[in-house]
Amino acid sequence: MSKNTALDWISKNEEQIIDVSQKVWEWAELGLVEYKSSELIAKTLEEYGFSVERGVAGMPTAFIATYGDSGPVIGVMGEYDALPGISQKATTEKEPLVDGAPGHGCGHNIHGASGMAGAIAARMALEKHGLPGTIKFFGCPAEENYSGKVFMVRDGYFEGVDVALSHHPYWMNSAGLTSSLAVNSVKFHFHGVSSHAAASPDRGRSALDAVELMNTGVNFMREHIVQEARIHYVVERGGEQPNVVPPYARSWYYIRAPERSQVDQIYEWVLKIADGADLMARTTHEIEFLEGAYNLLPNKRLSELVTANMREIGAPEYDKKEMDFAKKIAGTITADDKAAGLRQTKRPQWEKLMDTIMDRSVPDAWDDGEVMPGSTDVADVSWVTPTMEFNTATCALGIPFHSWQMVAMSGMSIGHKSLIFAAKALAASALDLLTKPELLKSVKDEFVERKAGREYKCAVPKDIKPPLEVAREAAGLT
């Protein structure tokens, strides 16, 4: 009965929910500067009776909206940050909305709106049926680049939450059990001595040399670390012009591995390589640690719950115009690229999906024990409370994430249907957890089993603040 109330509310308010998603899609704000997007979602929650605490964990665009004052406490997460340089209209050909501007290439406009709508719908059911419990919506900035949730977890904002639910756009409707790669994000600032590169190179000490030497050392290191690890870097500053020995240079590294302890070990080695680069180039350097995240702890009981609710609700159907749009988008990648993407999912009999454009199935999770080759700050939440981030089909099968194609599909009706479907699954699952004590207990028991006695210790030291100025600089706001 309570679930029907929640689902009916979402159906009756689809227009407002989609409008929120579309505004966030159009604004496309980068991480930690999602000022308009976060405020829109926060204000909408306030309109429906939530009390909102803004600017939590030192981030102006992070907030927590709460309804209720008793247990259990169900957290619902939402993200709203975009990615740089992939602005795109909702069309089937590459066509920027604004040249060079950000775009929602991971569908976070849908992510934030689905969480918001699911939380409001569950709250409406609690009130109507006089049910105990609390719904907390976590407005989570900067998942893509600065791991906003890590700062929220570190500062204790997830304490007392019994379960955390989240949704993310994808190719498929699935509540997966894959883990993720733990990660450190760190910048190396090298300092040398400027000099005329032709007349007096002997008096110069090149900071760029140190960056290149460090990169070389790290690349030789790759052979001797676990094969699942990933290390990638960019050189952000390498000098101003060739006839000046660069007195300053900067690199930015991501260091990833399947377990937090493995990242820690590799990171210590990388730090020693940076020291070695100083010895060779006669430079000095400073370390700017931006963020570190854990590997994800899955929860099979939550996967089964969300999967059952998705099946009961029913995946969206698409009209001819939508399917034509999806087919054209699907035609922008090769069959080989699609096969490579599907193979990477390790879904059983993925070959049978090669001719499928939009996947409407809701399969059981098949990936327990697997590790996806990416990282997410949802992982840190999963170490302090049972967590599930499930997926709904938002784009054509095989379309790369962080691409103009994903931006396009996140801003049209296929993305809107994915949003509404996800909001309903969130609300229904939250209400099951609130009204079925034995279910909640089984979820928590599995959480303890998955941790296996391991303790969570945030990888970001207390004295490190969210990189607000770095974010503002990246967004061109300084």
Tens digits of residue pLDDT in 32-60 = 999 999 999 999 999 999 999 999 999 99
In the predicted model, is pLDDT for residue 1 greater than 90? Answer: no
Residue 216 pLDDT: 98
pLDDT in tens, 169-180: 999 999 999 999
Q: If we measure between CA atoms, which residue out of 88, 83, 87, 89 comes closest to residue 111?
A: 83
pLDDT in tens, 61-85: 999 999 999 999 999 999 999 999 9
Q: If we measure between CA atoms, which residue out of 74, 170, 174 comes closest to residue 387?
A: 74
User: Cβ distance 21 to 409 under 8 Å?
Assistant: no
Please name each of the domains of the chain with its CATH number.
2-179+295-451 (3.40.630.10), 182-294 (3.30.70.360)
CA distances, 453 to each of 309, 383, 450 (Å): 31, 11, 8
State how beta strands 63-67 and 284-293 pair: unpaired
User: Cβ distance 420 to 315 under 8 Å?
Assistant: no
pLDDT in tens, 221-233: 999 999 999 999 9
Q: Which amino acid belongs to residue 317?
A: E
pLDDT in tens, 99-144: 999 999 999 999 999 999 999 999 999 999 999 999 999 999 999 9
Whole-angstrom Cα Rg for the chain = 23
Cα–Cα distance for residue pair 326/405, rounded to 1 Å: 10
Cα–Cα distance for residue pair 352/266, rounded to 1 Å: 39
Q: If we measure between CA atoms, which residue out of 382, 418, 459 comes closest to residue 77?
A: 382
CA distances, 172 to each of 85, 119, 224, 252, 347 (Å): 26, 23, 36, 33, 11
Tokens of 85: 């340089």
pLDDT in tens, 283-337: 999 999 988 999 999 999 999 999 999 999 999 999 999 999 999 999 999 999 9
Is the entire prediction scored with pTM above 0.75? yes
pLDDT in tens, 406-457: 999 999 999 999 999 999 999 999 999 999 999 999 999 999 999 999 999 9
Chain centroid, CA 276 distance in Å: 34
- The pLDDT of 342-365, averaged and rounded, is 97
